[in-house]
Structure 1
Amino acid sequence: MIDEDNIEDKDLDKKINRHFAGRAVRKDLTKSMKEGFNVPIYVLEYLLGMYCATDDDDCLEEGIERVKNILTENYVRPDEAEKVKSKIRELGQYTVIDKISVKLNEKKDIYESEFSNLGLKGVPIAPFYVKEYEKLLEGGIWCILKMDYFFDEEVKGASPFNISNLKPIQMPNMDMCEIMEGRRHFTKEEWIDLLIRSTGMEPTQLSYEVKWHMLTRLIPLVENNYNLCELGPRGTGKSHVYKELSPNTILISGGQSTVANLFYNMSTRKVGLVGMWDVVAFDEVAGIKFKDKDGIQIMKDYMASGSFARGKEEKNASASFVFVGNINQSVDNLLKTSHLFAPFPEEMANDSAFFDRMHYYLPGWEIPKMRPELLTDRYGFISDYISEFFREMRKHTFTDSLNKYFKLGNNLNQRDVIAVKKTVSGLIKLIYPNGEFTKADLEEILQYALIGRRRVKEQLKKIGGMEFYDVNFSYIDRETMDEEYVSVPEQGGGKLIPEGLGKAGHIYTVGHAGSGMIGVYKIENQVVSGSGKFEKSGVGSDREAKESLDTAFRYFTANSKSISGSIAIKTKDFLMHISDLQGIGLTNELAVAEFIALCSASLEKPVQESLVVLGNMNFGGTLMKVDEFADSIQVCVDAGAKKVLVPATSIVDFQTVPSELLVKVQPIFYSDPIDAVFKALGVN
């Protein structure tokens, strides 16, 4: 039987080696060689691409041996620097592999090089090397060099070392025409697979949706000032791209940083990491911590504008921010009890302004955990080549590409529009770098971009309330004027309030916790034989919650006959348990809900299905107005309520509730606590 997938893999291997000769490498060779040589992966892959881009087993073995010999004989380890310098002196000439950076010494009018591992400085280098390989002046490149040694006593201060021959073993220059022309020979699917293989992953083992997630991890490398968040289970390779793929990214582990290190050092007057790297990735977001009090505020300013103020100066930088971390519980549970940004540290976790700067939330829980079969043994671009391609694409933009065919719906504010356009631009750079794509191609990208930004907005709604109510993201086809809406997969299920009738004595209420947040609570009551006692559990030491529940029981004992003459109090005990469904702390707005629940349990009649009670009362039964009424209605809808029992004192506040929200829930008004019982039980 013919393995069609294997044939397609080999065809793609042949195609990349034909159109990108010397730019591709078999990724399993990188992994095996990396274990034996502690050299940067982009250096290793450049050599493998030069000598091992073949399917001929004999030629491949010969190429591997050649690469091994080059690294063994010529790579300079920092701890062997003196030994290598001695060899150059004693032999007169010696070949080394090291990272070289060059500066112009204007006082002497010569170019001087500095060796990273060898530790040499001030070594003269011929101007034609600098002209041919400009990256020598831009932070340096790894090279294989022939070094001479000649000590002249008459020339003081001159280095006895000399470079007689230099050949880069990184990409010295980037020919973008090669990329643009080569892209035309690949289908969209082939190109996506090629990019994913270049990161070391095997695309045939991934679903189509996961492939797009893998591409999204690369957007910060091609898009300036892009803010990406990816939270998910451990072991899904969240930080791999930012640690291994590109020499232009830095991964901050542990999380602790300073404003001076990250943004600007006032004493040295130098820009920090955001000015030195294309991507600054924060590993384990739970540990992010600034020693400076204004650190998070400066980070927010930078994430919004790409600039920050230090002293009297305002500085600009283009580095993208990536936030990766772990979610240690199920997404359904997290959505029920909190929000998807909860793993961030406490000083950020409820800061809606900080999270509003996120352009995309990548759902890490949709990406499979790393397994051996997910690592590719096929050909992909060498790391140095693809990282230079990514860096060059940062000079281009496709943010206005969607304007020709589509416009965004009215639920997107300016920040939403910027986020979506930047994601669209980044994905076009990755998939269609030559700008050749169809309307259907663009629509696919636009839908994906809208989902990731809406995921951010859904969490902002949980954190910040009505300010972020507009989450019904859509786009309009300019030709047909048809409007399409996008939804977020994980928002579909996991409602706190299930459909269908509950048990008698059970009721849901929404109220303000001591923290000021609005929470959802379930009250359960049971009536047993006894002597009129009222026992409470789940309340802990919350004095105000206890007082509100006691108010309900006193009102119940005084007014039960107004509900039904069959209710017995002195021969029954009443057991109550309250559950804080979102873990934000108890509310003291419980009296009306508990009064209804006591009556429901006593009559053995459940309240109407999917009902939530709003409102509170004092010991005399006087109703109180609901604070933050629109936000409270929003919480009810998000929890799964279909009906909301509302005190008549809050009727005037209905004008603050958006009409789109009102159509999702049926308000039922009550004039006093006894009326509330009849309305809740569905008794006319």
Structure 2
Amino acid sequence: MKSLGEKLRAVFPDAVVPKNPDSKFWTDLGLPSFLRDWTVRKFIQPDGSIDMSAVERFVRTYMPRKRDWERIKSTLIHEAASVKILTTLRVEIDVATGEALVQFPALGFPKRKREARVEEHVLKEHKSELLSGETWGVVELRWRREAPENQAKEIGRVVVVDFKPFRPYRVDIEHFCSVRREFSLPEWVDVLLGAIDYNPAGFSNLEQKIWFLCRLIPFVQKNFNLIELAPKGTGKTYIFSRVSKYGWLVSGGSISRAKMFYDISRRREGLVSLYDFVALDEVQTISFPDESEIRGALKGYLETGEYRVGDYHGKGEAGLILLGNVTYERQKEGAFFLQELPEVFRESALIDRFHAFLPGWRFPRMRQDMRARGWCLNTEYFSEVLHELRSRALFMEVTKDLLEVPKRADVRDTNAIMRATCALTKLLLPHLLLVDSLSEEDIKVFEQWCLRIARAMRRFIRQQLHMLDAEYPETIPDITLRSL
């Protein structure tokens, strides 16, 4: 009988990598999981061995850190040579001059405005990627002495002369969905956990594993709004910051309506229009310059996915995730968790627009033995799969066909349960995208692990609403599996 790792290598021959949590090498490199696994895949041998010295040379040459920037500048200026690197960049159009100015956050450059720009032909060819917020890509840099627009004096500037978006995988989503049938549900759940760097052996049972995977719902479902309160050290930050380049994590500090939605002065869309999800980490430490303004904007956006700032009408597909720590006294069912949130979120009409609540105290603390080990799905490949699953509308049609909704059911409750059920179906039963009829096992998994947990997550929201405002009943609609 094949091991899970052997099965994975057989059905995903080009999308698996060996993961070794004991290797200090990868920790020292500090790469996000999706970038680390892509690098492993690039240098892996058929027997699973990796030439670490070659990896180190590659990373040093093409994935520089801040400390490497002076070396790169010397190459550009003193050797008059071009340099290619894989990094994050953010491009803005200078309203005064019309130039496309660029920043490299990982390198801390530039310090002064107009020290770096993008060639016009590069911007024209890759406009959608370069003007969609901070993005990953391979850039070719050159140094030139030139006068910025509307200025007579020449200065030295770094110029982006070529750009390739970092999308190393062409995902065959039908293949991913079809091979689900090669695995039992417990095996498939372990596959998903390994893909996000977790060791299935570190969990108590299947129930705990699937609740943990609910953290991935905003990765696969557009505009899914989630609250998770959990003890420290349960991996909240890691999941939402290291697994996918399509999400954005805000950790502490202040965040404005302009940052979230639309910046009028810069004529630039905010985070909700640029990413698959926006997670507010350590939400208790985040402040808002104008609380009534941001609360009003959030109510509209969380309801419809649309926003208005001045004369600008925008749309976004990002779900909003509130991540916070919960005190020991409230780590139990029936406690009033919303007291842990900032005052701006403690309004019933706003909370009602969040689809689900995750009780993070049910999750194990991150320990060394919780890290994935052995052959697992490549995190970068898996992040592309999650991103692709967002656009597959057929899953919602399947969900609607399978569920019976009471005629007097609350609309928001129904929408929340439907969306969560649909997202869990994408994760646990992706092969339903390809089949004409469901097996008895499929129906059982759908009811027990998709619908039941979706209802439970919404019930948490309802219970908290009732404690906050007695006008809201604590019950949810009795949405059930339709008789087939």
Q: Classify the TM-score, shorter chain.
A: 0.7 to 0.9
Query: Which deviates further from its counterpart, 311-320 or 365-374?
Result: 311-320
What is the RMSD computed on CA atoms of the aligned residues?
3.8
Pairwise CA distance, 1:328: 0.7
Contact 1:124 1:162 in 2 (8 A): no
Are the counterparts in 1 of residues 75 and 83 from structure 2 also a CA contact under 8 Å? no
Closer/same/farther in 2, CA of residues 403 and 135 from structure 1, 3 Å limit: same
Secondary structure of the corresponding residue to residue 451 of structure 1? helix
User: Match of 1:314?
Assistant: 313
2:462 to 457, 461, 468: 457
User: CA offsets per residue over residues 372-424 of structure 1, 9 Å max, x none?
Assistant: 11112123333322222222222123223233233034674100000011101
Give, as a single letter, the amino acid of the residue that structure 1 aligns with 2:300: D
1:509 corresponds in structure 2 to none
How far does residue 136 in structure 1 lie from its aligned partner after superposition? Answer: 7.1
Query: Equivalent of 1:97, from 74, 80, 85?
Result: 85
Code of the residue aligned with 2:374 in structure 1: it is: R
Which segment drifts farther, 471-480 or 302-311? Answer: 471-480
C-alpha spacing 1:283/1:114, structure 2 compared with 1 (3 Å): closer
| 1:3-402 paired onto structure 2 within 5 Å | 11-28=3-20, 32-52=24-44, 55-56=47-48, 59-60=49-50, 62=51, 64-87=52-75, 96-99=84-87, 116=104, 117=107, 121-122=117-118, 140-143=135-138, 170-171=167-168, 173-206=170-203, 207-254=205-252, 256-292=254-290, 293-331=292-330, 335=334, 339-349=336-346, 351-397=347-393, 398-402=395-399
Match in the other structure for 2:149: none
User: Residues 94 and 13 (structure 1 numbering): CA distance in 2 closer, same or farther, change over 3 Å?
Assistant: farther
Question: Structure 1 residues 449 and 48 mapped into 2: Cα distance closer, same or farther (>3 Å)?
Answer: same
1:33–1:411 distance in 2 versus 1, CA, 3 Å: farther
Contact 2:117 2:158 in 1 (8 A): no
Superposition pairs for residues 467-478 of structure 1, below 5 Å? 467-469=471-473, 471=475, 473-478=477-482
Please say if residues 144 and 169 of structure 1, whose CA atoms lie closer than 8 Å, have aligned partners that are also in contact: no
TM-score (norm 2): 0.80
Q: Cα–Cα, structure 1 residues 273 and 137, in superposed 2: closer, same or farther, change >3 Å?
A: closer
For the residues of structure 1 that align with 2:159 and 2:354, how far apart are their CA atoms?
A: 51
* Per-residue deviation, 1:168: 7.2
Preserved CA contact (<8 Å) 1:256 1:289: yes
Q: What's the offset of the Cα at 1:479?
A: 2.2
Cα distance in 1 between the residues matched to 2:77 and 2:170: 32
Equivalent residue for 2:113? none
Contact kept in structure 1, 2:89 and 2:135, CA below 8 Å: yes
Q: Distance in 1 between matches of 2:315 and 2:198?
A: 35
Q: Is the 8 A contact 2:414 2:477 kept in 1?
A: no
Q: 1:193 and 1:159 mapped to 2: Cα distance?
A: 50
User: Residues 255 and 442 of structure 1: is their aligned pair in 2 closer, same or farther, counting only changes over 3 Å?
Assistant: farther
TM-aligned CA distance change 1:94 to 1:67, over 3 Å: farther
Letter in 2 for 1:198: A
**Maintained 8 Å contact 1:280/1:322:** yes
Aligned to 2:54, the other structure's residue is in SS state helix
Identity of aligned residues (%): 24
Superposed CA deviations along residues 285-343 of structure 1, whole A, max 9, x for unmatched, are 333432113211211221111112222343211111111112213347783xx622221
> Which residue does the alignment assign to 2:96?
none
Distance 2:219 2:119 in 1: 33
AA aligned opposite 1:46: W
Q: Which residue of 1 aligns with 2:445?
A: 441
After superposition, the Cα gap between the structure-2 partners of 1:324 and 1:332, relative to the gap in structure 1 and judged at 3 Å, is closer
CA 1:86 to 1:331, structure 2 compared with 1: closer, same or farther past 3 Å? closer
Preserved contact between residue 30 and residue 44 of structure 1 (Cα < 8 Å) = no
TM-superposed deviation, 1:263 = 1.5
Equivalent position amino acid for 1:256 in 2:
S
Q: For the Cα contact (< 8 Å) 1:99–1:115, is it kept in 2?
A: no
* Letter paired with 1:459: Q
Q: What is the count of residue pairs matched by the alignment?
A: 450
Inter-CA distance 136–27: structure 2 relative to 1 (3 Å threshold): farther
CA distance in 2, matches of 1:320, 1:167: 27
Deviates more, 1:212-221 or 1:288-297: 288-297
SS of aligned partner of 2:364: coil
